[in-house]
Amino acid sequence: MTSITDDLSERELIEQSRSGNREAFGRLVFLHRERLFNAMYALIGNEEESRDVSQEAFIRVFNSLDRFEIHRPFYPWLYRIARNLALDYLKKHGSRRKVSLCSMLEDGRSQFESSRAVNHQHSDVRDQIYQEQITSGIRTALDRLKPEFSEVIMMKHLQNLSYEEMADILNIPAGTVMSRLFHARKALAAELAELGYAPSGKTTQRGERK
């Protein structure tokens, strides 16, 4: 069996996995497990179940590698298989997410912001408190969205998937994904406004503030 080195590309790992190299597949699992787990966690809302479903997805993927088109991105294919398993699971058990998205997400800037607040002016502390409130508002607002809206927002902004990848996973046209995401963001803005966190600050082109 070929020894796997760190510098093998994903494509090479897939090709080696296809020929039965478990070590190569283990590396693929290692590369994608956390991202996939997070996606399943957002759908199912339970760590152990999400862990099991993601493991099952990897097993299915290994058994179906012959059918994978090597020129296509691997993660969306893996995601689609895992998502189908998660939806089957939810249908079978008649359950939806048991914990809110609130408890799954955190402010990605909090560490930086807290160290900065200690070292700088009180205004920074106020900024931080404001930021934390906003973050809390977003999490609450996300929980209020329809599942199909929170799912596309999660896919785009937390999983960093492209429109084409999302379309592939959801089995809908890319245009529909874009339109759904537009309405999802709009619904999120409306929920934020209702919670008193109206997105303010008019922007100019591509997110630059006026």
Partner 1 sequence: MSTQSNHHHQPDASVEEKIAAYLEGGLSEAETKEMEALFLSHPEWREEYDEQVKVAELMGSLQFKAPTPGLWDNYWEEIDAKLTTKPVGLRLMELGLLLLACFVELIVWMLSENLIYRTGIVLLSVGFLIVVFNVVRGRFLEGNKDRYRRIKK
User: Per rule CB under 8 A, is residue 25 in the interface with partner 1?
Assistant: yes
* CA pair distance 207, 210, nearest whole angstrom: 9
The CA-atom distances, in angstroms, between 124 and each of 80, 117, 120, 121, 194 are: 42, 5, 7, 6, 26
Taking every pair of Cα atoms in the chain, the longest distance, rounded to a whole number of angstroms, is: 60
User: Per rule CB under 8 A, is residue 206 in the interface with partner 1?
Assistant: yes
Q: Tell which one of 87, 99, 108, 126 touches partner 1 (CB under 8 A).
A: 108
Burial string for 39-48 (b: 16+ CB within 10 Å, else e) reads bbbbbbbeee
By CB under 8 A, what part of segment 130-149 binds partner 1?
131, 134-135, 138-139
- Minimal distance, residue 1 CB to partner 1, in Å: 13
User: Per rule CB under 8 A, is residue 22 in the interface with partner 1?
Assistant: yes
Binding mask 146-185 for partner 1 (x = CB under 8 A): -------x--xxx-xxxxx---------xx--xx-xxx-x
Structure-derived torsion over alpha carbons of residues 52, 103, 165, 160, reported in degrees to the nearest 10: -130
User: Per rule CB under 8 A, is residue 105 in the interface with partner 1?
Assistant: yes
Q: Tell which one of 107, 124, 127, 143 touches partner 1 (CB under 8 A).
A: 107
DSSP 154-183: IIIIIS---HHHHHHHHTS-HHHHHHHHHH
Q: Which residues contact 178 (CB under 8 A, 6 or more apart)?
A: 163
* Site residues, partner 1 (CB under 8 A): 22, 25-26, 29-30, 33-34, 37-38, 41-42, 47-49, 51-52, 55-56, 58-59, 62, 73, 75, 89, 92-93, 103-109, 131, 134-135, 138-139, 153, 156-158, 160-164, 174-175, 178-179, 181-183, 185-186, 188-189, 192, 199-203, 205-207
